[in-house]
């Protein structure tokens, strides 16, 4: 069942969408950072707003010094990979954080004149105001480990990352950008599922994005999926499961049906670890769980090998 | 004649009870004793049925689409496919009877036919898991579509599912991947594919069998991203608002044709497909035959191109 939660169920798990800028370097604190992200401290700088200097860990309740969390790519000392938006993803993925953002296409707003008490138009406006984005997909191009790639990031902060017409067009545009440049496509997925406010038009995006992937396959360009927390519903049941390679961040919720729906259907509690990244690797649906600080290197390596093979044809 | 009446059919049901009673009386009283009255009552019932079915709201259509006596996959196969031979199993794990498929001839044309089957009584409903497929169902669909392509057989599907089954086993065996692969296989076929939404077209479980060149829908069928109940429980946080959700999501055949999500509406008999299943089934056959004849003139490359253009075009024009 495709479904999009419009609220972020994890609440505090979502950091701001843009990386911090300006200010002085973060101070050194212990060995945790040095292990996870050696040297990164010098690249990331302190946020200039004095409030929110401490972030509460959603798992342990511990207060984490925000500059440290930023330096650790928003991975807590407990290992939780907190949800991050497109700007941070791009910065962490591309070599030296250098990339060119590509425009994401728009689609008609509210084609069904949908309202569930609050109108979809109002929800869209609120999501745009909160994120500064037009919809859930952001596209950029740059190099990953020396290989040019187009990267698509689905932003959970925008209406639960839900897949509507604009997001579908965004995916197609990203695939076409990769085709134009004859380079691979990397998609970071994060969504509650389809955008119900667009009815069957959102369902059609499952087929439309699948067609875009076929265009890449026909010319032998790699399509790599990085599944992040959470990836569920119609998104998982289309482009998130059609990659040449599937990577997943540790502990990400990945599945088709929502856990509440499954529990209500079978009237049993779910086993621990159910629908988490590690479980999907064990069940053969994901190639590898890759911590955030290793993602760029692993992606770079995979893309290099695949593109070298392609060049030999 | 249907024996199961929906809530909005109550006046028709009452009239039908009178007709039944009178015709029994007529039998005992001697042939033809109440013919005049009976004819008048039957005419009145027809008028009521026409009126009710001409103005169904989306929630009523949802009830009709789920009507237990609505023709199901096995009825379409019985009525339209000569020498149907069922093929079972995904060659990996199991056979899922929520999706049935096999070989046969449709009005003389060799085809591969498959679809969701919901079952018609407790035993068969359990056997077919109420038409809610597990990964094995979609993997069987992929297997059969592969074969159809090898033998140059058009693929005809009948869509009728509340959605894919949400269960632990289904998830652990890759429900999402199985659906994605099935949708992908339909979209990449080098043979014609026609999907008909005969009842409920529910979410990913439906599109897995509907990545087709032509998507047809019965007059009172629905096709949606999530069931009205599911949408209501998530957005309204109240499952009882399903009627509101059904209206808001634009799930009826009449809404969907305007959005170009479906290509053609197949008219049902006056009281819905369940009131006259045989004629409903043959009407579906007539339209599928017409569409198939057109598609069979296209080359494999043209078929793929048409399918891709069809889906890419959705939402790109004609919307407010």
Summarised one tens digit per residue, pLDDT across range B37-51 is 888 999 999 898 888
Closest by Cβ to A236, choosing from B176, B211, B314: B176
Supply the pLDDT for residue B37. 86
Q: Can you tell me the distance from the alpha carbon of B181 to that of B158, in angstroms, rounded to the nearest whole number?
A: 18
Q: Can you tell me the distance from the alpha carbon of B207 to that of B156, in angstroms, rounded to the nearest whole number?
A: 14
Supply the pLDDT for residue B27. 76
ipTM of the complex: 0.95
Alpha-carbon distance B107 to nearest alpha carbon in chain A (angstroms): 30
Supply the pLDDT for residue B310. 98
What's the whole-model pTM score?
0.91
Supply the pLDDT for residue A23. 38
Contact B296, B243 (CB under 8 A): no
Task: Collect the ranges in chain A with pLDDT lower than 70.
Answer: 1-51
Residue B246 with chain A: CB contacts under 8 Å: none
- The H or E element spanning position A92 is helix A86-93
Residue A234 with chain B: CB contacts under 8 Å: 203-204, 225
- Say whether residue B226 is in contact with chain A using an 8 A CB cutoff: yes
CB contact under 8 A, B314 and A116: no
Q: Can you tell me the distance from the alpha carbon of B53 to that of B302, in angstroms, rounded to the nearest whole number?
A: 39
CB within 8 Å of A121: residues ≥ 6 apart: A109, A110
Contact A2, B226 (CB under 8 A): yes
Chain A residues 171-230 within an 8 A CB cutoff of chain B: 172, 194, 196-204, 206-208, 210-211, 213-214
Tens of each residue's pLDDT in chain B, 320 residues:
567 889 898 888 899 899 988 888 877 777 677 888 888 999 999 898 888 999 999 999 999 999 999 999 999 999 999 999 999 999 999 999 999 999 999 999 999 999 999 999 999 999 999 999 999 999 999 999 999 999 999 999 999 999 999 999 999 999 999 999 999 999 999 999 999 999 999 999 999 999 999 999 999 999 999 999 999 999 999 889 999 999 999 999 999 999 999 999 999 998 999 999 999 999 999 999 999 999 999 999 999 999 999 999 999 988 86
Q: CA torsion sign, A56 to A59 to A61 to A63?
A: negative
CB contact under 8 A, B261 and A257: no
Measuring CA to CA, which residue among B126, B105, B102 is closest to residue B115? B102
Return the residue in B163, B171, B181, B258 with the most chain A beta carbons within 10 A, the one to mutate for interface testing: B171
Supply the pLDDT for residue B4. 84
CA B259 → CA B33, B262, B313, B315, distances in Å? Answer: 54, 8, 10, 7
């Amino acid at each position: 069942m495709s479904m999009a939660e419009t609220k972020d169920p994890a609440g505090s798990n979502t950091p701001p969408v843009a990386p911090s800028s300006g200010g002085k370097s973060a101070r050194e604190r212990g060995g945790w950072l040095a292990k996870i992200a050696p040297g990164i401290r010098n690249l990331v700088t302190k946020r200039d707003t004095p409030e929110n200097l401490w972030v509460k860990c959603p798992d342990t309740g511990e207060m984490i010094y925000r500059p440290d969390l930023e330096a650790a790519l928003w991975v807590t000392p407990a290992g939780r990979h907190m949800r991050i938006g497109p700007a941070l993803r791009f910065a962490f993925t591309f070599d030296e954080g250098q990339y060119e953002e590509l425009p994401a296409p728009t689609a008609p707003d509210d084609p069904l004149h949908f309202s569930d008490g609050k109108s979809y138009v109002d929800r869209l406006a609120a999501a745009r105001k909160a994120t500064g984005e037009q919809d859930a997909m952001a596209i950029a191009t740059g190099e990953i480990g020396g290989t040019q790639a187009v990267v698509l990031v689905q932003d959970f902060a925008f209406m639960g990352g839900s897949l509507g017409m604009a997001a579908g067009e965004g995916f197609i545009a990203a695939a076409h950008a990769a085709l134009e440049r004859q380079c691979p496509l990397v998609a970071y997925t994060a969504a509650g599922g389809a955008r119900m406010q667009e009815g069957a038009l959102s369902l059609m995006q499952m087929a439309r994005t699948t067609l875009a992937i076929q265009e890449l396959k026909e010319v032998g360009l790699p399509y790599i999926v990085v599944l992040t927390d959470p990836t569920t519903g119609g998104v998982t049941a289309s482009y998130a499961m059609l990659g040449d390679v599937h990577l997943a961040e540790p502990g990400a919720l990945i599945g088709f049906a929502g856990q509440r729906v499954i529990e209500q259907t079978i009237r049993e509690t779910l086993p621990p670890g159910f629908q988490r990244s590690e479980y999907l690797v064990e069940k053969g649906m994901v190639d590898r769980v890759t911590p955030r600080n290793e993602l760029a290197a692993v992606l770079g390596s995979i893309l290099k090998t695949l593109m070298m093979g392609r060049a030999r044809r | 004649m249907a024996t199961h009446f929906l809530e909005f059919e109550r006046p028709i049901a009452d009239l039908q009870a009178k007709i039944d009673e009178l015709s029994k009386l007529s039998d005992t009283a001697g042939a033809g004793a109440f013919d005049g009255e009976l004819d008048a009552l039957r005419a009145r019932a027809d008028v009521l049925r026409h009126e009710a079915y001409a103005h169904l709201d989306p929630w009523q259509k949802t009830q009709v689409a789920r009507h237990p006596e609505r023709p199901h996959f096995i009825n379409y196969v019985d009525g339209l496919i000569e020498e149907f031979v069922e093929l079972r199993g995904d060659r990996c794990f199991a056979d899922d009877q929520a999706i049935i498929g096999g070989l046969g001839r449709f009005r003389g044309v060799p085809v591969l036919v498959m679809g969701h089957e919901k079952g018609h009584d407790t035993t068969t409903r359990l056997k077919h898991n109420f038409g809610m497929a597990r990964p094995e169902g979609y993997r069987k669909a992929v297997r059969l579509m592969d074969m159809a392509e090898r033998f140059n057989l058009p693929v005809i599907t009948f869509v009728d599912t509340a959605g894919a089954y949400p269960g632990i086993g289904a998830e652990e065996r890759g429900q999402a991947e199985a659906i994605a692969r099935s949708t992908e296989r339909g979209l990449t076929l080098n043979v014609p594919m026609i999907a008909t939404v005969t009842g409920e077209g529910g979410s990913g479980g439906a599109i897995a069998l509907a990545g087709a060149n032509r998507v047809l829908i019965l007059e009172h069928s629905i096709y949606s991203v999530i069931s009205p109940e599911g949408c209501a429980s998530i957005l309204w946080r109240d499952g009882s608002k399903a009627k509101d959700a059904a209206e808001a999501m634009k799930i009826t055949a009449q809404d969907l044709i305007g959005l170009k999500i479906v290509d053609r509406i197949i008219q049902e008999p006056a009281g819905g497909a369940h009131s006259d299943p045989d004629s409903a089934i043959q009407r579906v056959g007539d339209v599928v035959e017409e569409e198939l004849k057109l598609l069979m003139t296209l080359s494999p490359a043209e078929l793929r191109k048409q399918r891709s253009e069809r889906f890419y075009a959705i939402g790109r024009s004609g919307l407010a």
